[in-house]
């Protein structure tokens, strides 16, 4: 048995064990920690499958942003709701859940095991047309050129999610700031960490977007890092969560989707249709769209974590 195979089997067993822990553990905080570890292990698994782009996204989204969202949910539930003690779903519910989950697992396992060898792949044609886009990274070419419509709709969904979170705000707070952030001691470690880490993180986020054209990276991973830096600023109290009806905030939020749609419509004029790029100019246009998107993604993710407005404008 090669050492690589031993590593893969060990990693798979570890992922299964952490998944089991996440489902089985009683306390919600421990479950979230388990989920974050699970995301990081999954990104290691993607790395060992030579998919660094997916690994980066899994680490940023599965391990990072989703973990922060779930931790926020835990904190809110803890103050507002008592744990549902003694409440156990009946055996019909549990049996149905068991059958459904087992069915889905068996179906997925069947699909993977019954794949023809070699598995059908679109990788060669994707690489073949890479030259026409001017990009060096086939994943970015798929996201921003071949299947740009999917990426556009994904960004719209992200905005809709933020609208859904905001719509949970009570009427009297509407237009105010999210009630997020703490008052840490002055000169404490959180303020030190924010001061040291945020400049590095902002550079790293923008760098990830920039190299995404030719190497693993891209606007989503970069935007997630920017969001993490913004959240750090909110938590440490060094920056204030913006009020949800501020014009500048709204502008940043919709900039990515707007630039994307405008570039898409311009495709009718300068190329053959919606989201088509003129020959030779695909890369600069893609970079422009991604530049707008990285800030929109960062702002949207950070505000998703910050939650609905809970403070009125006047203190």
Partner 1 sequence: MRLALDIFTIVAVSSGAFFFLAGTVGLLRFPDTLTRLHALTKADNLGLGLIMLGLLPHVAWPFVALKLVAVWVLALVASASASQLIARKVRGRRGS
Residues in touch with partner 1 (CB under 8 A) = 185, 188-190, 192-193, 196-197, 200
Q: Rounded to whole angstroms, how far apart are CA atoms 30 and 15? A: 16
Q: How far is the CB of 18 from partner 1 (least distance, A)?
A: 15
Query: At its nearest, how many Å lie between partner 1 and the CB of residue 286?
Result: 24
Q: Which of 286, 297, 283 is nearest to 264 (CA)?
A: 286
Query: Which residue lies nearer to partner 1 by CB, 191 or 261?
Result: 191
Strands 309-311 and 177-178: antiparallel
Q: 184 or 310: whose CB is closer to partner 1?
A: 184
Between 29 and 251, CB nearer to partner 1: 29
Closest to 223 in 3D by CA, of 163, 127, 151: 151
183: left (phi over 0), alpha (psi -120 to 50) or beta: beta
Q: Are the C-beta atoms of 261 and 252 separated by less than 8 Å?
A: no
Residue carrying the six token digits 């068991």:
98
Which of 256, 257, 276, 254 is closest to 265 using CA atoms?
276
Beta carbon nearer to partner 1, 225 or 297: 225
Residue 204 CB, nearest distance to partner 1 (Å)?
Answer: 9
Q: If DSSP codes are grouped into helix, strand and coil, which group holds residue 181?
A: coil
Alpha-helix residue ranges (DSSP H) falling in 169-276: 189-211, 219-236, 247-270
Closest CB 189 distance from partner 1, rounded Å: 4
Report in angstroms how near the CB of residue 64 gets to partner 1 at its nearest.
13
Q: Please, which residue, 48 or 245, has the CB nearer to partner 1?
A: 48
The span from the CA of 190 to the CA of 196, in Å, is 10
- CB within 8 Å of 80: residues ≥ 6 apart: none
| Nearest residue (CB) to partner 1, 137 versus 296 | 137
Q: Which is nearer to partner 1, 117 or 185 (CB)?
A: 185
Judged by CB, which is closer to partner 1: 207, or 251? 207
* 20 vs 188, beta carbon nearer partner 1: 188
Distances (CA, A) of 183 to 56, 179, 235, 240, 301: 32, 12, 8, 11, 22
Report the nearest approach of partner 1 to the CB of residue 184 (Å).
8
What is the helix (H) or strand (E) element at residue 34, kind and residue range? Answer: helix 28-48
At residue 76's C-alpha, the angle toward residues 74 and 77, to 5°, is 65
Q: Rounded to an integer, what distance in angstroms lies between the CA atom of residue 244 and that of residue 247?
A: 9
With residue 177 as reference, give the H or E element that holds it: strand 177-178
């Amino acid at each position: 048995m090669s050492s690589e195979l031993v590593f893969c089997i060990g990693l798979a067993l570890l992922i299964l064990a952490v998944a089991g822990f996440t489902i089985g553990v009683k306390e919600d905080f421990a479950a979230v920690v388990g989920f974050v570890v699970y995301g990081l292990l999954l990104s290691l698994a993607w790395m060992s499958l030579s998919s660094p782009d997916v690994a980066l996204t899994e680490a940023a989204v599965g391990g990072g942003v989703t973990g922060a969202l779930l931790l926020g949910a835990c904190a809110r539930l803890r103050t507002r709701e008592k744990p549902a003690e003694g409440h156990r779903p009946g055996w019909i519910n549990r049996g149905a859940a068991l059958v459904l989950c087992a069915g889905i697992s068996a179906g997925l396992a069947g699909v993977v095991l019954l794949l023809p060898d070699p598995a059908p792949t679109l990788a060669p044609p994707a690489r073949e047309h890479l030259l026409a886009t001017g990009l060096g990274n086939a994943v970015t070419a798929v996201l921003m050129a071949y299947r740009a419509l999917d990426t556009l709709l994904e960004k719209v969904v992200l905005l809709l999610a933020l609208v859904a979170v905001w719509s949970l705000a009570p009427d009297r707070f509407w237009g105010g700031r999210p009630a997020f952030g703490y008052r840490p001691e002055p000169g404490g470690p959180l303020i030190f960490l924010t001061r040291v880490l945020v400049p590095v993180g902002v550079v790293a986020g923008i760098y990830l977007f920039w190299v995404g054209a030719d190497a693993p990276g891209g606007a989503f991973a970069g935007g997630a890092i920017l969001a993490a830096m913004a959240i750090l600023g909110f938590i440490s109290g060094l920056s204030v969560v913006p009020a949800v009806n501020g014009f500048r905030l709204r502008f940043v939020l919709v900039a990515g989707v707007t630039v994307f749609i405008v570039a898409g419509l311009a495709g009718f004029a300068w190329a053959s249709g919606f989201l088509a790029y003129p020959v030779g100019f695909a890369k600069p246009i893609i970079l422009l769209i991604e530049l707008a998107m990285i800030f929109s993604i960062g702002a949207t993710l950070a505000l998703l974590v910050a939650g609905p407005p809970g403070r009125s404008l006047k203190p």
